[in-house]
Structure 1
């Protein structure tokens, strides 16, 4: 009898980044998180600014900043034996330099679309506006104490 395939969820996760000098909330930081065990997983996210962006891979660790967590949303799944390929495909997603309107949210959306087109099990029902709405609802749920990490 063949060994069953192990799958991990693929989540879109967001983190609070504080307020700017005018007191306005900064855009929430989006990342891709693949929970692989109780309280740990692999997080893939964009660091830096429009001149210094780099992609960080955090493997088998808790969320980047648990106190800044503001919600997670399942967007698909990945077979455990395909995690290496999943990461290689993430590294192939183009980064937009010197555009102040482009940020981690745009990068995550580009990654999800790329993974989907490469045959990974990322929901075809997703589109950017829906993800933005879902993530806004999660922030409100967090603010009202309806969700926590």
Structure 2
């Protein structure tokens, strides 16, 4: 019997009042068990308080701030605890206006690409930004976003 693998997405969320402007969005790395059950890996806080905050939710697609996302790979169920700890290797930077949640996610993607077998797309920062902008346009026009496309039966 083969092991269950979950889509690994970069999710984007509305981020009001950010110093980089109204179009700036919060990013998280998310393993989706279903449209609503998600393992979220992210940094929270601001430039002086950033911290890595892994968590789980059973209401992912119901978040009022969710603006869709982009699937970059897949992760085995048995790898979730490992991933939670592996992502702790990424240095969280404080008091640097050039470092934030998006920087952290991009570093996480590069770390996982180097390991191999998880990130299935050949992605870099420009490609990710482009795909997330396309996803935002889908969300803005009322089309299905990534979690709805990945789990249409729910």
CA distance in 1, matches of 2:91, 2:117: 18
Distance 1:49 1:19, change over 3 A: closer
Deviation at 1:61, TM superposition (A): 2.7
Partner residue in 2 for 1:57: 54
Match of 2:80 among 75, 79, 83: 83
Partner residue in 2 for 1:139: 136
CA distance in 1, matches of 2:78, 2:143: 35
Q: Secondary structure at the match of 1:30?
A: strand
Q: Secondary structure at the match of 1:122?
A: coil
Q: Secondary structure at the match of 1:32?
A: strand
Give runs of ≥4 in structure 1 deviating > 4 Å: none
Partner residue in 2 for 1:121: 118
Unaligned stretches of 5+ in structure 1? none
What is the Cα-based RMSD across aligned positions, in Å?
2.2
The number of aligned residues is 146
Distance 1:71 1:53, change over 3 A: same
Q: TM-score, normalised by structure 1?
A: 0.87
Deviation at 1:26, TM superposition (A): 5.2
Match of 2:64 among 63, 67, 70: 67
CA distance in 1, matches of 2:13, 2:4: 28
C-alpha contact 1:9 1:34 (8 A) present in aligned 2: yes
CA distance in 1, matches of 2:121, 2:37: 27
Deviations 1:69-119 (A, max 9, x none): 111111001111111111111111111221112111111000111122123
Q: Which has the larger radius of gyration?
A: 1
Partner residue in 1 for 2:151: none
- Tell me which protein shows more strand as a share of its residues: 1
Q: Secondary structure at the match of 2:31?
A: strand
Partner residue in 2 for 1:5: 3
